[in-house]
C-alpha cells in the first residue's frame, strides 16, 4: 500500500511540475512554433519562443553548424562547442575556460540542457534573458574576451557571407531577409538550436512516468532528503532550478560559500545584499557537469553539496544518498543524441 501511495504521490507531483513548466512557458512565450517537431515526451510543454524568432528546421540546422564552427572565433580556434561539449551535457570539465587571447575565464561554464526555458541565462546578470542576446556575449564580449570579435563583428559576418555553404543556409533559415548574414541572424540561429537542447529522458523521468526503472535504495533515500532538506526550494520543479519562472532576480542566491571576490549579482545591482548571489543552476545531468559552483571550485558533487550552509547538519551517509539521487537525473540519450552533435559536414568559411 505504501508503494502504491508513493507512486501516486510522485505522479501528482509530476503533473504539478509539468503544469508549472507550462505556466512558465506561457508567461513569456508570445507565440508557439506551428508545425515544429520538438520531439518531447507526452505532457512536456515546449520552451517559449520569441515572436521575432519563430522556430524552423532550417534555422536549427544553421544554428547547429554555427555552434560547432570554430570560425566563430577571431583566430578559428574556438567554437561554442569548445566550452559546451555534448558529452558533458554541454559544459566542459574545466573550472573556467580561457579565451582565444589567453584571457582567464571568469566563471564556470554553465550547462545548456533545457536552457530555452530559463528566465535568466548567466551566473550573475539577470538582464540577459534571451538566448539570441546571450549567444553573442562570448562571441563579441569583452568582460572577459572569449571568442574575440569585440568591435570586429563585421569580420565575422564577412567571413560567413563569403562561404557559399553559409549563403545557402542563411537563405533557407531567413528567407524574410533574403539570407542576411548579421550578428542578429547569427544570434537567432544559435538561439533556435539551443532551444532544441531538451533533456527529459533520465531514469528519474522514466520512473515518474510510471515505467519500471531499477532505482537503488540510496537514490530513493536521496530523493526524500532532497525534498525534506530544502534543496528543492531553489532547485525547483521538473527543471531543478528556480531560473525557469518568475522575476529573473529571484533565481539568484548566496549559499554561504567563502567569498572569492566575485560580486555575482551585486556587480550588476550595486547592492550589498546581492553580493555573491549567483543563479541557481539546473541539476539535470549534474553528474556529468563537474566541476561545480560559479567558480568551478567544487570538484565533486559531494563537495558541492557540502559547500551549502544548509547541508551542515546532514551526515556523510546522507550526502552519499543525495549523490545517488542526483545521478538518476542523467539523461544518456541527451548526451549521445546525433541530432545535437557535430554535423557530419561543415561549412568552409570564406
pLDDT band at 346 (very low <50, low <70, confident <90, very high): confident
pLDDT band at 350 (very low <50, low <70, confident <90, very high): low
CATH code for the domain in which residue 120 is found: 1.10.760.10
Please indicate, yes or no, whether residues 113 and 183 belong to a single structural domain of this protein.
yes
| Residue 188 included in any domain | yes
Lowest mean pLDDT among 27-31, 218-222, 294-298, 326-330: 27-31
Please indicate, yes or no, whether residues 317 and 187 belong to a single structural domain of this protein.
no
Give me the number of domains the chain comprises: 2
CA distances from 211 to 11, 44, 97 (A): 11, 16, 40
**Residues in Cβ contact with 312 at an 8 Å cutoff, skipping those fewer than 6 apart:** none
Instruction: Round to whole Å and give the CA distance between 230 and 257.
Output: 17
Instruction: Round to whole Å and give the CA distance between 203 and 205.
Output: 5
| Residue 95 included in any domain | yes
Please indicate, yes or no, whether residues 211 and 183 belong to a single structural domain of this protein.
no
Instruction: Round to whole Å and give the CA distance between 182 and 169.
Output: 13
Please indicate, yes or no, whether residues 93 and 223 belong to a single structural domain of this protein.
no
Query: Grid coordinates 556529468 are at which residue?
Result: 288
Residue 338 has pLDDT above 80, yes or no: yes
Instruction: Round to whole Å and give the CA distance between 262 and 105.
Output: 12
Please indicate, yes or no, whether residues 300 and 186 belong to a single structural domain of this protein.
no
Please indicate, yes or no, whether residues 213 and 318 belong to a single structural domain of this protein.
yes
Please indicate, yes or no, whether residues 179 and 272 belong to a single structural domain of this protein.
no
Please indicate, yes or no, whether residues 263 and 194 belong to a single structural domain of this protein.
no
How far from chain centre, in Å, is Cα 241? 11
Burial of 152 (0-12, 13-18, 19+ CB in 10 A): exposed
Please indicate, yes or no, whether residues 215 and 155 belong to a single structural domain of this protein.
no
| Residue 347 included in any domain | no
pLDDT band at 4 (very low <50, low <70, confident <90, very high): very low
Share of the chain above pLDDT 70, in %: 90
| Contact between residue 321 and residue 225 where contact means Cβ atoms under 8 Å apart | yes
What CA dihedral angle connects 337, 340, 341 and 344, to 10 degrees? 110
Share of the chain above pLDDT 90, in %: 81
> What pLDDT digit, counting tens, does each position of 182-216 carry?
999 999 999 999 999 999 999 999 999 999 999 99
> What pLDDT digit, counting tens, does each position of 274-322 carry?
999 999 999 999 999 999 999 999 999 999 999 998 888 899 999 999 9
| Contact between residue 310 and residue 229 where contact means Cβ atoms under 8 Å apart | yes
Range of the domain at 152: 57-198+335-340
- Stretch 6-28: mean pLDDT, rounded? 44
| Residue 314 included in any domain | yes
Please indicate, yes or no, whether residues 190 and 216 belong to a single structural domain of this protein.
no
Buried b (16+ CB within 10 A) or exposed e, 328-340: bbbbeebbebeeb
| Contact between residue 137 and residue 110 where contact means Cβ atoms under 8 Å apart | no
Q: What pLDDT was estimated at residue 155?
A: 97
| Residue 294 included in any domain | yes
Residue 31 has pLDDT above 80, yes or no: no
Q: What pLDDT was estimated at residue 21?
A: 52
Please indicate, yes or no, whether residues 119 and 250 belong to a single structural domain of this protein.
no
Please indicate, yes or no, whether residues 176 and 190 belong to a single structural domain of this protein.
yes
Q: What pLDDT was estimated at residue 33?
A: 52
Identify the CA nearest to 295 among candidates 110, 146, 135, 129: 110
| Residue 185 included in any domain | yes
| Residue 36 included in any domain | no
| Residue 96 included in any domain | yes
> What pLDDT digit, counting tens, does each position of 129-171 carry?
999 999 999 999 999 999 999 999 999 999 999 999 999 999 9
Amino acid at each position: 500500500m505504501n508503494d502504491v501511495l508513493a507512486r501516486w504521490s510522485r505522479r501528482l507531483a509530476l503533473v504539478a511540475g509539468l503544469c508549472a513548466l507550462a505556466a512558465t512557458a506561457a508567461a513569456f512565450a508570445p507565440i508557439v512554433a506551428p508545425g515544429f517537431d520538438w520531439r518531447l515526451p507526452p505532457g512536456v510543454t515546449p520552451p517559449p519562443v520569441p515572436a521575432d524568432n519563430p522556430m524552423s528546421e532550417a534555422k536549427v540546422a544553421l544554428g547547429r553548424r554555427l555552434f560547432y564552427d570554430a570560425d566563430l572565433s577571431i583566430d578559428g580556434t574556438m567554437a561554442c562547442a569548445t566550452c559546451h561539449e555534448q558529452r558533458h551535457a554541454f559544459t566542459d570539465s574545466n573550472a573556467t575556460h580561457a579565451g582565444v587571447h589567453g584571457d582567464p575565464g571568469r566563471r564556470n561554464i554553465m550547462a545548456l540542457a533545457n536552457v530555452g526555458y530559463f528566465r535568466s541565462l548567466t551566473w550573475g546578470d539577470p538582464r540577459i534573458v534571451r538566448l539570441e542576446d546571450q549567444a553573442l556575449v562570448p562571441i563579441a564580449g569583452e568582460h572577459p574576451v572569449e571568442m574575440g570579435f569585440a568591435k570586429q563583428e563585421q569580420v565575422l559576418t564577412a567571413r560567413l557571407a563569403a562561404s557559399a555553404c553559409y549563403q545557402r543556409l542563411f537563405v533557407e533559415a531567413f528567407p524574410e531577409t533574403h539570407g542576411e548574414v548579421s550578428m542578429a541572424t547569427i544570434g537567432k540561429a544559435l538561439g533556435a538550436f539551443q532551444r532544441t537542447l531538451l533533456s527529459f529522458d533520465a531514469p528519474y523521468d522514466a520512473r515518474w512516468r510510471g515505467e519500471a526503472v531499477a532505482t537503488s535504495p540510496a537514490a530513493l533515500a536521496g530523493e526524500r532528503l532532497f525534498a525534506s532538506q530544502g534543496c528543492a526550494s531553489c532547485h525547483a520543479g521538473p527543471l531543478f532550478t528556480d531560473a525557469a519562472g518568475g522575476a529573473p532576480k529571484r533565481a539568484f542566491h548566496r549559499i554561504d560559500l567563502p567569498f572569492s571576490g566575485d560580486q555575482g549579482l551585486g556587480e550588476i545591482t550595486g547592492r550589498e545584499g546581492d553580493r555573491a548571489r549567483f543563479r541557481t543552476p539546473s541539476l539535470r545531468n549534474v553528474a556529468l557537469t563537474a566541476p561545480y559552483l560559479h567558480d568551478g571550485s567544487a570538484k565533486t558533487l559531494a563537495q558541492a553539496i557540502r559547500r551549502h550552509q544548509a547541508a551542515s547538519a546532514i551526515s556523510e551517509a546522507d550526502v552519499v544518498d543525495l549523490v545517488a539521487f542526483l545521478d538518476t537525473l542523467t539523461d544518456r540519450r541527451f548526451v549521445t543524441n546525433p541530432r545535437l552533435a557535430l554535423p557530419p559536414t561543415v561549412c568552409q568559411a570564406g
